[in-house]
Amino acid sequence: MEELTIALLIDSDNIGAKHIENILGELTKYGRVTIRRMYGDWTQERLKPWLEKSSQFSLTPIMQSNDTSRKNASDIGLVIDAMDILFSEKVNGFCIVSSDSDFNKLAKRLRESGNLVIGMGEQKTPESFRASCEKFIYLDIINEEIETEDEKLETAPKGSEISNKHFEEESFTKKSIIEKTIINMILDSNIDTMHLGEIGQRINNMFPDFDVRNYHYTKLSELLKEFDSLYLSNKENKYWVSIKSIMPENIKEIENKIIMIFNKKRVAKMNIGELKKELSNIIPNLDIVIKKSGVTKFSLFLDKKIDVIKISGYNAQLIK
């Protein structure tokens, strides 16, 4: 198997120098970093920490004077170098380190050429750039240090103010989406259990920013144990994942919730679609429950599994 060689290109204007050890540490998992370049206007005092680390980590500083009003010069220089490296065919992987959205088109172009593209940045990184990478790693999550106010100034883009807006939004894939995705994987495969390794590989392919450390775990198996709908079994030191069966008591609980909905609305008959909407508000994973029961439609689920309901056309009638 051909060894992966990586070009590391750092947008120093948008990333703090404190992350460099984690950046290189993460890349050793993928291959050798043969090109190491960082871009910035080195006359700026706030970028001095990068220069101090350049010799220690064999980084080549590329001077980019911000003499253009429309676009940061570091961005332009990084893009030009990336394309030069691409056509030289010296590497088969790229790592772009930035919290800026300006590199999403570059990441797409590099991927289209068959190169592995790894993105690294902080949680404020726009989704457009994260999604353009084959793998995206949040540096501020894997970095255990608490960022001081001085360091925040260091990582702030020129001419902008620090904003907490990006941090107030959840920047990576929600756990509920991960859980639902795994359940659909197992259901669509028509098998009862799936190997944990296969699940991990497919999740990484679907969600470039997926990393168990984002959710404060070190292993995928530990994250999956948090999901009530999944069951992990260990066979011959290998983890297998299955969907927990729908037990009779679960059906009884659903029946009680349906009765509660009818009583709340003070009706004896409801449109099936309206009932499903109301029930989904109480049971967010209702579609998964339906599939696990062996049917694909909510109307069939009511007809075959729920004893307190009688189906009449498009309506569900409560049997008293």
pLDDT of residue 72: 64
Q: What angle do CA 148, 151, 153 make, to 5 degrees?
A: 115
- Average pLDDT (138-143) is 83
pLDDT of residue 35: 95
Contacts of 224 (CB under 8 A, 6+ apart): 182, 196, 199, 230, 232, 241
**pLDDT tens across 66-103, in order?**
655 445 656 888 999 999 999 998 899 999 999 888 89
- Average pLDDT (250-263) is 90
CATH number of the domain located at residue range(s) 175-243 in this protein = 3.30.420.610
pLDDT of 139 higher than 70: yes
Q: Per-domain residue ranges for the chain?
A: 5-168, 175-243, 248-318
pLDDT of residue 304: 87
Third-level CATH fold of 5-168: Rossmann fold (3.40.50)
pLDDT of residue 28: 83
pLDDT of residue 68: 52
What is the pTM assigned to this prediction? Answer: 0.60
Mean pLDDT of the chain: 83
Contacts of 288 (CB under 8 A, 6+ apart): 180, 183, 184, 187, 229, 243
Lowest mean pLDDT among 1-10, 18-27, 136-145, 255-264: 136-145
Instruction: Give dist(CA 264, CA 282) in Å, integer.
Output: 13
Identical fold at 5-168 and 175-243?
Answer: no
**pLDDT tens across 281-311, in order?**
888 778 777 877 777 789 989 998 899 999 9
Instruction: Give the DSSP H/E element, type plus range, for residue 151.
Output: helix 149-155
